[in-house]
Every structure is written in C-alpha cells, then in structure tokens.
Amino acid sequence: MKALLSFLAVIVLILIATLGVDVANLHFLFGIIIPYLAFVLFVGGFVYRVIKWGRSPVPYRIPTTCGQQKSLPWIKQAKIENPTTVLGVIVRMALEIFFFRSLFRNTKTELRVGEDGPKLVHGSAKWLWFGSLVFHWSFLIIIVRHLRFFLEPVPYFVQLIDSIDGMLQIGLPPIYLTDAFFLCAVIYLFLRRLALPQVRYISLAADYFPLFIIMGIAISGILMRYFFRVDIVAVKELALGLVQLHPAIPEGIGVLFYIHLFLISTLFAYFPTSKLMHMGGIFLSPTRNMMSNNRMVRHINPWNHAVEVHSYAEYEDEFRDKMKKAGIPVEKE
C-alpha cells in the first residue's frame, strides 16, 4: 500500500512533467525555474538541517565501539574500532563513509527448527551491505560523469571516469557499467523491502518514495541515452546556461529530458526533508565521530547547570551553636 502510493506519486510527477512540457509548453518553468528552485531548496535546506543538528547538545561521550579499549600496555588496543586518537577517528569515519563498515557487520537472526524445538540462529548478512555499496558508488560516479554537461571545457578526470565507465564499448553510445549496476542495486534495495516481512513491516512511504524516484531518474536517463535519444549538445547548452546564470531554453530537446530533470529537481527539493539527509548526518553521528576516551579524560558536560549545594561545613557553621547545646559533636569548635 505504502509502496503503491509512492509509486503513484512518482507516476504523477512524470505526468506533470509530460503534460507541462508537451501540452502546456512550460519549458521555461520546467527547464529553468524549477531546477533553480530545487537547487536553492537543496542547499538551503541542507545547511539548515546540519546547523540545526550542530546546535543540539552533545553532553555525553557515546561512541559505540566493538574492539578492545585502550587499557594496560600489554593489552592490544583496537585502534580503529575503539579509537583514542583523532587519526583513529578519521580512519574509522572514512571506513564508515566509503565502505559502510558498520553495515558490513550486519547480521540476521532467525528461528530455525532444531532437533528439540526451535533454535535461534545468527548469521552474517552481507547482501544489504553489498547492494548499498554498489548503489552509492554507482550514484557517485554517475553524478561525477554528469559534470560533462556543466563544465566547459570538460576536466580530464570527468573524461577519465567517463571512459572507464564505458570501457566495455558495447553499442553506441557505449553502455556505462554504472548504469547497469545502479539499476540492479535500486531494484534489489526495493525488492528487499518487499520480500522480507520484517523490513516490509517497518518500511514507510518515505522509504519507498526515494527508491521510486531514483528508479525513475535512472530509467529516464537510460532511455534517453540508449533508446529515445535527445540532442546532447542542446542539453549541454541548457545546463551551461543555468550555471552561467544566463538561462535559455534551446530548441528541440525531447520531453524525456524534461521528465528526467523534473524528477531530479523533485529529489533535490525533497532531499533536506527526508531520510536522505543521512548524507550529512553520517558526519554528525556521535556514536561514530567521537574518540573513545570516556575513562581517560574527564568529560564535563558543557551545559552543566549550576547546582546549589549545602556542604557539611556550611551546615555546621549554620547550626554549630544549636548542635553544641544539644551535645552533638562538631568538627570545628
């Protein structure tokens, strides 16, 4: 149901773009205004969200670790899993961001039928890790490749990535490896949500919608490159016009391009309000980005409220006379 709703939402978006461009001729709106708006919303929303997170108190040391803590000199410390230095934290974060290390440790737990009744078994589960890794890396490469539309002259590294990605040289224009990887990974991530009952149970529309919109973007892009070609030169003129702040709509770009662009604009505008903000959030995860020096350093809560205390010495000062009269021993005469 939630999946269906999200799917319909993406279909509606596609229809809006199709009708808007093909029937109503709103090229200016879909080619220029909406992309600019989406960019502003994306950057503004992203910065706003990160600053808002940054302002929330971080009173405790809460790194989650899974290695030997620094201890006596002859006990070997897990320097990355349980870092006590800035370098250790950087390495840990880098492994997390580039290789999803904590997802790598994902496990599954199942009830299996044993000889005497059901048995709880744990096992490693690497498919999610693998699927996400393929998904994210392909996505990154695809975005870098798209820089060829936004930069003139095209820098060497973009050309290099482009040629590596197309190295199989199947067909003309050559098939990009990442296109295939990306599509498979998105479909896997989607099917996983449907197929595993537990995951389906916790999946919300906000989980399906990004998947569908990303799938829509990928499919429209693939159709545009291999099947219903659009005039790439005109597309680049449009893109360059946008980034040079002299936007203009070149003649003769197919509607498929505007669908692609509209879906991307929607994704960008939606990004800061959604779970996709894990892109920024990963850097601000206190369980990952803190050194595990809980017991090596005294951490004082920076927001500690001044507490009024009444020490025994003060108490005695106040009641010394009465205490003496009652025969209670006092420390100071």
Partner 1 sequence: MYKGGRIIASLIIFVAFLTLPFFFNLGKANAGPDLPTYASSSDSQCVEPAAYMKANHMQLLLKWRDSDVRDGNSVYINSQGKSFDISLETCVQCHTTQATKNTVGVNNPALNTSDQFCVSCHNYASVKPTCWNCHSGPEGATK
Residue ranges in contact with partner 1 by CB under 8 A: 39, 42-43, 46-47, 50-51, 54-55, 57-58, 147-148, 150-154, 158-159, 162-163, 169, 171-173, 229-234, 236-237, 240-241, 243-246, 248, 252, 254, 280, 283-284, 302
With respect to ligand HEC, which residue has the nearer C-beta, 43 or 233? 233
286 binds ligand HEC (CB under 6 A): no
Q: Is 172 in the site for ligand HEC (CB under 6 A)?
A: yes
Bridge-based pairing of strands 117-124 and 107-114 is antiparallel
Residue 8 binding ligand HEC, by CB under 6 A: no
Of residues 233, 296, 313, 330, which one binds ligand HEC by CB under 6 A?
233
Report the DSSP beta bridge partners of residue 123. Answer: 108
Give 191 or 243: the residue with its C-beta nearer to partner 1.
243
Among residues 67, 174, 247, 286, which is the contact residue for ligand HEC, using CB under 6 A? 174
Binding of ligand HEC by 27 (CB under 6 A): no
Indicate the residue among 27 and 225 with the shorter CB distance to ligand HEC: 225
> Please, which residue, 48 or 315, has the CB nearer to partner 1?
48
Nearer to partner 1 among residue 15 and residue 160 (C-beta): 160
Closest CA to 52 of 60, 41, 40, 44: 44
Spatial separation of the C-alpha atoms in residues 119 and 114, rounded to whole Å:
5
Out of 59, 171, 173, 281, the residue judged to bind ligand HEC by CB under 6 A = 173
Amino acid identity, position 103: L
Please say whether the beta carbons of 300 and 75 come within 8 A.
Answer: no
Q: The dihedral of CA 248, 253, 255, 257: what is its sign?
A: negative
Amino acid (1-letter code) at residue 277: M
- Residue 265 CB, nearest approach to partner 1 (Å): 15
- Buried (b) or exposed (e) across 76-86, using 16+ Cβ within 10 A? ebebbbbbbee
What's 152's DSSP letter? S
In this complex, which beta carbon is closest to ligand HEC, that of residue 118 or of residue 173? 173
**Cβ neighbourhood burial of 218 (10 Å; 0-12, 13-18, 19+):** buried
Let me know how long the chain is. Answer: 333
In whole angstroms, how close is the CB of 158 to partner 1 at the nearest point? Answer: 7
Of 17-25, 42-50, 108-116, 166-174, the segment contacting ligand HEC by CB under 6 A is 166-174
Would you say 186 and 215 are in contact if contact means Cβ atoms under 8 Å apart? yes
Residue 266 CB, nearest approach to partner 1 (Å)? 18
What part of residues 198-227 is at the interface with ligand HEC (CB under 6 A)? 225
**Could you give phi then psi for residue 303, rounded to 5 degrees?**
-100, 15
Residue position matching structure tokens 């006092």:
330
DSSP single-letter state for residue 170: -
CA nearest 10: which of 254, 229, 205, 221?
205
Q: Which is nearer to partner 1, 10 or 261 (CB)?
A: 261
Tell me if 144 contacts ligand HEC by CB under 6 A.
no
Q: Which residues bind ligand HEC (CB under 6 A)?
A: 172-174, 225, 232-233
